[in-house]
Amino acid sequence: MTTPAASTVPSQASGQAGTQAGTPPGAQTGSHWMLRSAAASGLTVCFANPGTTELPFVAGMDAVPEVRPILTLFEGVCSGAADGYYRISGKPAMTLTHLGPGFANAIANLHNARRAGSAIYNVIGEHMSWHIEADPPLNSDIESLARPVSAGVYRADSVASLASVTRQSLDNVVAPGGGIHSLILPMDLQAAAMDAPLHAAVAKPIDTPMDGAAIDRVAAGIAAGKRTLLLLGADALHEAALIEALRLRSLSHVEIVGETFPARSEHGGGLPAIRRFNPSAEQAHPYLLGFDCVALIGAKRPVAFFGAPGYPSFLGDPGRTVPLCGGSEGAHGVLRALADTLRLPVQSLQAPAPAQDHDRDNTLTAESAARVVAANLPANAIVSAEGQTLAFPFNAIAAEAQRHSTIVLTGGAIGQGIPAAFGAAIAAPDRKVIGLQSDGSALYTIQTLWSMAREGVDATILIASNRRYNILLNEMRRNGYELVSPAVTDLLHLSRPDIDWVHLARGFGVKADRVGTVAELRASFRRAMAEPGPKLIEVVLP
C-alpha cells in the first residue's frame, strides 16, 4: 500500500517537526527510534550510500549498534547487495540512499529484487520538510520513482506520521511475501525528538489451505498416462521439495523443469538435475503444447522473455495449465502430496559421480572453465551467476558438484551478480561465495569490489573476459542481422582498449589473477577456495 504525502508542507516554525538544533542533547531522535524499531523487527544490516540529507540518520546509527552499517560506493550496489542478502538469509536488509537521484541509481537492482520476491526496506533521505516547496536543485518526485519497484511507498511529514508509517512499513516488510517497502524520510524528522515506544514487527504466517482437488486432478492425469510437465519455481527448487521431486522422476511420461530465473535454487550432492525452462517463444511454445498438462508448482505461467511475431506472450495452452497451491507447506507439501497420491516410493539421495576438470588440450573455454568450478566447488557454497558465458555451462553440470545454492539474475537488469554475491557473503559469512560474471555486466557495479575488500568477505568473482557483449551478438544472429560497419560493430565489443581486470581489482583492494589455460584456472581457483577473503579471477576466453 502507499501512504500519500500530506497536502501541505509543514513549515520550520510550525512545531510539527523538530530540528537538530532543537533536540535536547541525549534525547532520542526520529533516527534513533526508527533504527531501534528496525533492529527489534529483525533488520540488522543497512547497505548505505548516504548524502547530506541523511546525516542525522548516520548520526543515529552511531547510537544504535544493533544495526550494522555497510558502505557501498554506488546505490545499485546497495540494492543488489540487499537482494542477495535476502535470498540467502530470508531476512530483509535496509538500504540508505540520497534523495530521488540517489534512489534512482538503485532502481535496476530493485527491479531484479522485486522479480525475485525479495524483501528490502529502503530508507530514502529527503530535504527538510519545510524546504521542499522551494523546489531546490535536488528536489524530485521520489514517490514516482519508488512505486514501480515497491510494494509500498510511505512518506513521513510529521513526528506523528513518522511513527505511524514506520510501524506500518516494518509490519509489511517482515510479513510473508512482504516485498520491497520504501520510506521517504525528511532530514528534519530524522533529527526530531521522538518519545514513542519502540515497535517490533513480527511476521504472521499465512495459513492458506493446499488445493487438494487440483493435486488430485493432476495425479489422476499422470496415473492415466497423460504426458505431464511439472514446472518448478520458488521454494520448489529448494532441498526439501527436490527430494520429493526425486520420487516423480521415475515416471517416463513426467518431465520436471525449473523456471528460467529462480531467486534461489539448490544443486548437487545427489539432488536431481533440474533443467531450466527455455523462455524463447519459438522453442518454448511448441514444447509446452506437447504436454497434456502443465502443472505450476511455485512457478508462474510461462511468458516469452521477448515477444516474437507469430507466437503468444503467454506460452502454451492455458486450458492445460494447472497452478498447484502449496498452502502453508509450500511446494514441498505439493510434491509430497502428488507423490503420495500416486503411491510412489521415497527415494534416497545417491551421491553423483564427481565433476571432472581434466581437459586433454588445456584449452580454456566457457565449458572447461565451468568444469573447473564444478569439480572444485566446496560443499555448501553459494554461486551468484550472471551472464550466460559461464553461468549456462555451469548450470548444465551443477548437479555433479557438491551441494550448493545458486542465485541468478531474475529481472534481466544487468549489474546484479557481484552485488548479490557481496550481500550473500554478508548473510552467510561461513560459506564460500563464487560469482560467475560476464565482463560487460560486471562493469555496471564493479565498485562492489571495494566494499568486498573493506568488509573482508569470503567471495571469489570469476570474470568471463571475452571482450564483447556475447548475448547481443547471439541475438543479432538469431534475428538475422549481419553488421558491416566497424563503428556499429564496435557497439557490441569491449575492446580498443581491452579492460585490465587484474589492475581494476587490485585498485579496489582485491587480490586478482589472470588465467588463460585450464591448468592456470584450476590452480588459481583452488587457491581461492583454500584461502579466506575476496578475490577476482579474470578468465580470458578466445
Note the pLDDT tens digit of each residue in 153-197: 999 999 999 999 999 999 999 999 999 999 999 999 999 999 999
Q: Quote the radius of gyration of the chain (alpha carbons, Å).
A: 25
Strand 433-438 with 511-515, pairing: unpaired
Half-sphere exposure of residue 254: CA atoms within 13 angstroms, side-chain side: 25
For residue 455, give the amino acid letter.
Answer: E
pLDDT in tens, 253-277: 999 999 999 999 999 999 999 999 9
CA distances, 289 to each of 252, 297, 306, 316, 322 (Å): 18, 18, 19, 5, 14
Q: Is the pLDDT of residue 350 over 90?
A: no
Residue 393 near residue 370, CB atoms below 8 Å: yes
Per the CB < 8 A criterion, the answer to whether 73 and 454 are in contact is no
Phi and psi torsions of 39, nearest 5°: -65, -40
Q: What is the pLDDT, as a whole number, of residue 538?
A: 97
DSSP strands (E only) in 319-400: 321-324, 381-386
At 490 the pLDDT is 64
Please give the torsion angle defined by the CA atoms of residues 441, 105, 413 and 256, in that order, rounded to the nearest 10 degrees: 110
DSSP letter for 458, please: -
Identify the pLDDT of residue 24: 65
CB atoms within 10 A of CB 488: 10
Query: What is the model's pLDDT at position 467?
Result: 72
Q: Which pLDDT band holds residue 466 (cuts at 50, 70, 90)? A: confident
Residue 519 CA neighbour count, 13 Å, CB half: 3
Banded model confidence at residue 14, pLDDT cuts 50, 70, 90: very low
193: amino acid identity, one letter: A
Nearest to 389 by CA among 414, 424, 421, 357: 414
Taking the whole predicted model, whether its pTM rises above 0.75 is answered as: yes
What is the model's pLDDT at position 210? 87
Looking at the predicted structure, is the pLDDT value of residue 113 above 50? yes
pLDDT digits (tens, 9 = 90+) for 369-414: 999 999 999 999 999 999 889 999 999 999 999 999 999 999 999 9
CB-CB contact of 415 with 445 (8 Å): yes
